Amino acid sequence: MKVLVFGAGAVGLGIASFLLQGGHRVHLIGKEETVVKLRGNGLQRQGIFGSAVFSPQDFTVSSNLSETGRETFDYYLICTKSFDTEASAQQLKEGSTLAHQKCPIVLCQNGWGNAETFTRFFPEEQVFNARVITGFIRHESHVVEVTVHAQPIHLGSLFDGDVSRLQELATALNQAGIPSSVTDDIGKDLWAKMLYNCPLNALGAILQVPYGHLGESENSRALMERIIEEVFQVMLGMGYSSHWQNAKNYLQDFYGQLLPSTYEHESSMFQDIREGRKTEIEALNGVIVREGRKLCLDISCNETVRDQILFLQSKPIKSAKRGF
């Protein structure tokens, strides 16, 4: 199987490492500085799924699609940040490798709205989503660590596409050691991830603590519960449903299963702010704010954390100076 991984950040490198471990052909598209590192040092994976090292000869990597020539691929995995979704779709549309084939495009991204963006460039039946609740941290441009794995990767379509086309990819990931499956309920899975990410990602960055610590304080728990209630109301208002009947039922699993399994995970938004990078806040809590306003719902908690992240994003976190 041949797979093009568009985006060589933490998620892209992590998923690519499993595909390589399974013996599949992988081409990575990344930023020039990342390309140089990968070509010179290969790809390394650490963490809970064990260590793996791949030499520069085990895969190919480039900063644009033109270097792939007219090579065909079985899958395109989009692993860019959500704010780069439109640019990624446009580059893929204009790339020569897509001019002569209609292979599945699988969005392995955070947030809501990425699939709708891609359907402005590609037919709905070609666009699929992956729900990934696995913690990846990129320590260097060529080194990725898997820190947590809360649930299997789920693959599916928001547009009634033929999900059987995804079975080969799910099988490949499973055989490589990372649990994966095809589902008919990917919409519910993506909203489950929104219910998980919206209370944890931003607050983890604002308070600078791992996920699990947020559940230890009565004050932070109250705030998370209000954020989740707002997300639930917006989801229902937009005409979607979830695996839970209401926010109260979700919170039982949130505190009982999801939060404990990712106790020491550090928010990707915290990592981005610390490194002075743009965050994905607008594809997470920002979606709840925009859609909630349209529905005339109270989204004040999501709005507050969204505004705080935007402030921190403009003024990256620095080590505090001690004084008297």
- Spatial neighbors of 116 by CB under 8 A, at least 6 apart, are none
- CB-based contacts of 230: which residues, under 8 Å, 6+ apart? 288, 292, 297, 298, 299, 300, 301, 302
Mean pLDDT within 299-314: 96
Band (316; pLDDT cuts 50, 70, 90):
low
β pairing state of 134-140 and 127-131 = unpaired
What number is the average pLDDT over the span 242-271?
91
What is the tens place of the pLDDT at every residue in 19-60? 999 999 999 999 999 999 999 999 999 999 999 999 999 999
Give this prediction's pTM: 0.91
What is the C-alpha to C-alpha distance for residues 150 and 224, in angstroms, rounded to an integer? 19
Cα torsion 33, 117, 96, 68: sign: positive
Rg (C-alpha) for the chain, rounded Å, is 19
Q: What would the pLDDT profile of 122-161 be if each residue is shown by its tens digit?
A: 999 999 999 998 889 998 999 999 988 888 999 999 999 9
Region 282-311: mean pLDDT is 97
User: To the nearest whole number, what is the mean pLDDT of the chain?
Assistant: 92
Is the model's pLDDT at 3 over the cut of 50?
yes
Residue 98 backbone dihedrals phi, psi, to 5 degrees? -100, 0
Closest CA to 7 of 105, 68, 81, 66: 81
What pLDDT, on the 0 to 100 scale, is given for residue 96?
56
> At residue 318, does pLDDT exceed 80?
no
Q: Which residues contact 79 (CB under 8 A, 6 or more apart)?
A: 5, 6, 7, 8, 9, 11, 12, 15, 108, 109
Fill in the DSSP letter of residue 320. Answer: P
pLDDT score, position 266:
86
Tell me the C-alpha distance between 321 and 165, whole Å.
Answer: 55
Which candidate, 64, 86, 61, places its Cα nearest to that of 3? 61
| DSSP code per residue over 168-234 | HHHHHHHHHTS-EEE-S-HHHHHHHHHHHHHHHHHHHHHHT--HHHHTS-HHHHHHHHHHHHHHHHH
pLDDT bucket at 69, cuts 50 / 70 / 90: confident
Residue 203 clears pLDDT 60, i.e. is over it: yes
| Residue 165 contacts residue 172 (beta carbons within 8 Å) | no
Has residue 11 got a pLDDT over 50? yes
Domains of the chain: 2-184 (3.40.50.720), 188-314 (1.10.1040.10)
Which tokens sit at 222? 């109250």
Q: Is the pLDDT of residue 1 over 50?
A: yes
* More confident of the two residues 70 and 116: 116
Q: How far is CA 143 from CA 16, 149, 201, 274, 275, in A?
A: 12, 18, 22, 18, 16
Q: Both tokens of residue 309?
A: 């992240």
* Residue 322 pLDDT greater than 70, yes or no: no
Task: Phi first, then psi: give them for residue 78, nearest 5 degrees.
Answer: -95, 110
The 10 Å Cβ neighbour count of residue 301 is 22
Tell me how many degrees the CA angle 55-61-65 measures, rounded to the nearest 5: 165
pLDDT at 27: 97
Identify the pLDDT of residue 98: 58
103 Cβ partners below 8 Å, 6+ apart? Answer: 72, 73, 74, 75, 76, 126
CA atoms within 13 A on the CB side of 283: 22
Mean pLDDT of the 87-108 span? 83
Return phi, psi of residue 146, to 5°: -95, 115
Least confident of 21-30, 97-106, 248-257: 97-106
pLDDT (0 to 100) of residue 99: 53
By percentage, how much of the chain surpasses pLDDT 70? 96
- Distance between CA 265 and CA 268 in Å, rounded? 9
Mean pLDDT of 189-195: 96
Has residue 100 got a pLDDT over 60? no
Residue 274 burial by CB count (10 A; 0-12/13-18/19+): exposed, middle or buried?
Answer: middle
